[in-house]
């Protein structure tokens, strides 16, 4: 496939996935204001993105986006040119997301599909209490990498389709201010899930936590 076609496929799939990513990161940021708002928003949004055909389309879009990225990366092999910092950060964010996003989807969706135990606020809270040394840095990087990849990628993808984003968004403070504000919100949201901003319910007393603990006990009994 020629590179021009690949660039368009990557742009369109990126824009489609960014609709979900925007809703999802906004949902995450709402945890700054408390569990009720986070859970309420998630219940409503789920009715759309977890509609079976749409969820399948979401996963397909993600696979197409990552595959076209990998193919373009292979096409660039041998090039000695050093890209600018913002593009390098965009690519590092892509590597992190590509490595972790399918694990993240499985960890959040399987308990809902297999044990009718969707995560909600308590599920994220449980993960942060269960293995804080892993989940705080993992979620902070996931959220910030997703935000950066989205903010850099959307104007570029629109440009590929002939829609020029305003100069103020593509460079300078118009680029860095929303990213810094969004990153701060993600860190604050994690502190909210962790119970540092306001009182939270016992993170081990919810269906998601019980499903995980039951699975962990099952697999540790199975292990020799």
- By CB under 6 A, name the binding residues for ligand HEM: 21, 24, 28, 42, 46, 49-50, 55, 58, 97, 101, 104-105, 108-109, 112, 118-119, 123-124, 139, 142-143, 146, 186
Closest separation in Å from C-beta 4 to ligand HEM: 26
CB of 158 to ligand HEM, least distance (A): 18
Choice between 13 and 42, CB closer to ligand HEM: 42
Encode the chain in three state secondary structure. CCHHHHHHHHHHHHHHHHHHHHHHHHHHHHHHHCHHHHHHHHHHHHHHHCCHHHHHHHHHHHHHHHHHHHHHHHHCCCCCCCCCHHHHHHHHHHHHHHHHHHHHHHHHHHHHHHHCCCCHHHHHHHHHHHCHHHHHHHHHHHHHHHHHHHHHHHHHHHHHCCCCCCHHHHCCHHHHHHHHHHHHHHHHHHHHHHCCCCCCCCCCCCHHHHHHHHHHHHHHHHCC
Cβ 114 to ligand HEM shortest distance, Å: 13
Residue closer to ligand HEM (CB basis): 152 or 167: 152
Residue nearest to ligand HEM (CB): 146
- Measured from the CB atom, is 9 or 111 closer to ligand HEM? 111
Q: Smallest distance from the beta carbon of 59 to ligand HEM, in angstroms?
A: 7
Q: Which C-beta is closer to ligand HEM: that of 9 or that of 61?
A: 61
Q: Could you tell me the two tokens for 116?
A: 């009718």
CB of 2 to ligand HEM, least distance (A): 28
Closer CB to ligand HEM, 64 or 101, in the complex: 101
């Amino acid at each position: 496939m020629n590179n021009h076609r690949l660039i368009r496929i990557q742009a369109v799939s990126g824009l489609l996935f960014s609709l979900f990513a925007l809703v999802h990161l906004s949902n995450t940021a709402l945890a700054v204001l408390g569990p009720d708002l986070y859970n309420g928003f998630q219940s409503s949004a789920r009715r759309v993105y977890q509609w079976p055909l749409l969820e399948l389309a979401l996963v397909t879009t993600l696979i197409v986006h990552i595959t076209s990225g990998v193919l373009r990366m292979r096409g660039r092999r041998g090039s000695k040119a050093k890209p600018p910092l913002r593009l390098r950060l965009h690519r590092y964010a892509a590597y992190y997301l590509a490595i972790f996003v399918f694990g993240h989807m499985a960890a959040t969706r399987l308990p809902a599909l297999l044990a009718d135990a969707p995560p909600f606020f308590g599920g994220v809270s449980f993960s942060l209490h269960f293995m804080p040394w892993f989940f705080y840095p993992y979620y902070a990087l996931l959220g910030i990498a997703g935000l950066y990849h989205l903010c850099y990628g959307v104007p570029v993808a629109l440009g590929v389709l002939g829609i020029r984003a305003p100069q103020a968004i593509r460079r300078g403070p118009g680029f860095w201010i929303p990213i810094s504000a969004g990153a701060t919100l993600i860190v604050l949201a994690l502190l909210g899930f962790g119970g540092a901003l306001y009182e939270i319910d016992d993170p081990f007393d919810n269906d998601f936590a019980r499903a995980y603990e039951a699975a962990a006990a099952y697999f540790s009994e199975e292990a020799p």
